[in-house]
Amino acid sequence: MSGKTRIALVTGGSGGIGRVVATRLAADGMTVVVHYAGNPAPAEEVAKEIAGAGGSAVTLQADVTEPERVRELFDAVEQQFGGVDVVVNTAGVMILKPVTELDVDDLDRMLRLNVRGAFLVSQEAARRLRAGGALINFATTVRKLALPTYAGYAASKAAVEALTPILAKELRGRDVTVNAVAPGPTATPFFFKGKPQEVIDQMSKAAPLERLGEPADAAEAVAFLAGPARWVNGQTVFVNGGVI
């Protein structure tokens, strides 16, 4: 990797884990492109937070489920900065219902963003990442925990986990790593939504460390994979405090 400032694109970078990932990569000296899908205000808040801490960030909008919009997103990054070195795929949606109650439209929504969106961003990243670059996808520990009501979500993230090592092998000779981070129960609005307190309390004690994960825990793993971890490739890193 050269001494030039590295450029990082974080999809879904305006909320939850994505926001903390964006601020962490900026703290590590990267210029961060904070992607958002609809409302620009949260993304602009992240960019202002980064700038206030002495970092550099811009915001860009795109529907990552549409191939042309994804190409335009990467075009815009290249036009502004000359290229891209790190892509972090945090954009996603989670809808929790038992299999017998999950509406097919909700399933389609998760598959469209979590699988199709991740695939399209990974595809374009594979075409454009510069030597020394890194693609980091987001999977989930729930794939191993097999918690009730998570079937649709876990299935969508299992697809991302399967994609990751195959793409790593397809990029042989490019000096680009492809890995996934699989958080366990993490204290975000995404996690708390719709859960009764007793479920939250139970899940917070599931890990041997007896707490929920924090977005910063996932961001720490991303920073490792985006920077010094050049010999970690094609892997899923489970960031869950030892819950499994």
Convert the pLDDT of each residue in 183-241 to its tens digit.
Answer: 998 888 778 877 889 888 888 888 999 899 999 999 999 999 999 999 999 999 999 99
Give the residue carrying structure tokens 């489920």: 65
pLDDT of residue 1 exceeding 50: no
pTM of the entire structure?
0.94
In one letter, which amino acid is 101?
Answer: E
For the chain, what are the domain ranges? 7-239
What Å distances lie between residue 111 and 108, 114, 164, 209, CA to CA?
5, 5, 16, 32
Do residues 145 and 88 touch, judged by C-beta distance below 8 A?
no
- Coil, helix or strand for 33? strand
Specify the pLDDT at position 199. Answer: 85
Q: Is 150 one of the annotated active-site residues of the chain?
A: no
Instruction: Spot the catalytic one: 36, 119, 138, 153.
Output: 153
CATH of domain 7-239: 3.40.50.720
